[in-house]
């Protein structure tokens, strides 16, 4: 068990929404400053291996180090594993299954022979790093802060998903334009499914794996999908989105009174 999960250890900084906001702003500042300074449009991040290293691998690596350092220093409990095992509804299980099917479908449709080896390596590294960094930030730090103080699990999970969606808003000014607005909605839906992976397995790393694999399949599929594969992939994407909406509804119905961490939790609250 990680030292951050030992209940008897007091945190060095209080569990609070303010700390989560601070870490989100710090991570965003670190990654966005490097990405924007590259001068490369978001739409071209994975056009070449060099682009991918400059806009994804390097900033994500630095961001991951920052977040990893915080988890070690802060001694926050329950970042890496669930404090209690919560019931996973049938709706949630279906959403996870569809997520996995969508990843497999994308990867099957990739023209692997056409993917440059150096670009493939960069995309794989990006998947590993984004899975680690964004899950530590959102399904780790943000979710932990929202659970503190006796807040309901429905509220904590839903706001974590919405926050994850809004986190992608800067992409609108980095090359996606108005389509970036759709990405915000999509990310909010995807975020709730990633929460389910953590909830179901009781650990953060399955969400990291699911996140990384999803992004790898997306980055490869954007430029290297087989002809005629797009319609099938779009149908699968819409199905996953519908399942994610159902998960949000399921949380409201089942967990609006569920409290994972009591209001009198040992530790102190920050501002």
User: How many Å apart are CA 164 and CA 106, to the nearest integer?
Assistant: 23
The dihedral built from the CA positions of residue 243, 245, 251 and 252, taken in this order, carries a sign that is negative
| E strand spans, 149-225 | none
- Give the pLDDT of residue 178: 84
The backbone torsions φ and ψ at residue 118, rounded to the nearest 5 degrees and listed phi first, read -65, -35
Q: What's the confidence (pLDDT) of residue 263?
A: 65
* Integer Cα distance of 256 and 250 in angstroms: 10
For residue 73, the 8-state DSSP code is H
Q: What is the pLDDT along the chain (271 residues), one digit of tens a residue?
A: 444 444 457 899 999 999 999 999 999 999 999 999 999 999 999 999 999 999 999 999 999 999 999 999 999 999 999 999 999 999 999 999 999 999 999 999 999 999 999 999 999 999 999 999 999 999 999 999 999 988 999 999 999 999 999 999 999 888 888 888 899 999 999 999 999 999 999 999 999 999 999 999 999 999 999 888 888 888 999 999 999 999 999 999 999 999 998 765 555 554 3
Domain ranges in the chain?
3-255
Name the pTM for this structure.
0.92
Structure confidence at residue 231 (pLDDT): 86
**Torsions phi, psi of 189, nearest 5?**
-70, -45
């Amino acid at each position: 068990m990680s030292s951050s999960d030992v209940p008897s250890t007091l945190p060095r900084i209080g569990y609070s929404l303010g700390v989560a906001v601070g870490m989100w702003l710090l991570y965003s500042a670190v990654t966005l400053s490097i990405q924007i300074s590259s001068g490369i449009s978001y739409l071209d991040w994975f056009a070449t291996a060099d682009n991918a290293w400059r806009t994804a691998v390097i900033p994500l690596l630095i961001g991951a180090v920052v977040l990893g350092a915080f988890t070690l220093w802060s001694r926050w409990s329950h970042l890496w594993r669930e404090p209690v095992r919560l019931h996973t509804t049938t709706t949630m299980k279906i959403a996870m299954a569809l997520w996995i099917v969508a990843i497999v479908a994308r990867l099957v449709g990739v023209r692997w022979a056409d993917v440059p080896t150096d670009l493939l390596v960069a995309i794989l590294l990006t998947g590993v790093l984004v899975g680690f960094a964004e899950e530590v930030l959102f399904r780790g730090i943000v979710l932990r802060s929202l659970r503190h103080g006796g807040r309901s699990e429905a509220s904590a999970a839903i706001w974590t998903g919405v926050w994850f969606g809004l986190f992608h808003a800067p992409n609108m000014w980095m090359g996606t334009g108005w389509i970036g607005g759709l990405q915000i909605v999509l990310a909010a839906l995807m975020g709730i499914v990633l929460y389910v992976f953590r909830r179901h397995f009781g650990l953060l790393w399955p969400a990291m794996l699911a996140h990384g694999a999803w992004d790898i399949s997306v980055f490869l599929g954007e430029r290297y999908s087989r002809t005629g594969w797009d319609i099938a992939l779009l149908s699968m994407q819409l199905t996953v989105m519908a399942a994610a909406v159902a998960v949000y509804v399921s949380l409201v119905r089942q967990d609006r009174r569920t409290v994972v961490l009591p209001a009198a939790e040992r530790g102190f609250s920050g501002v």
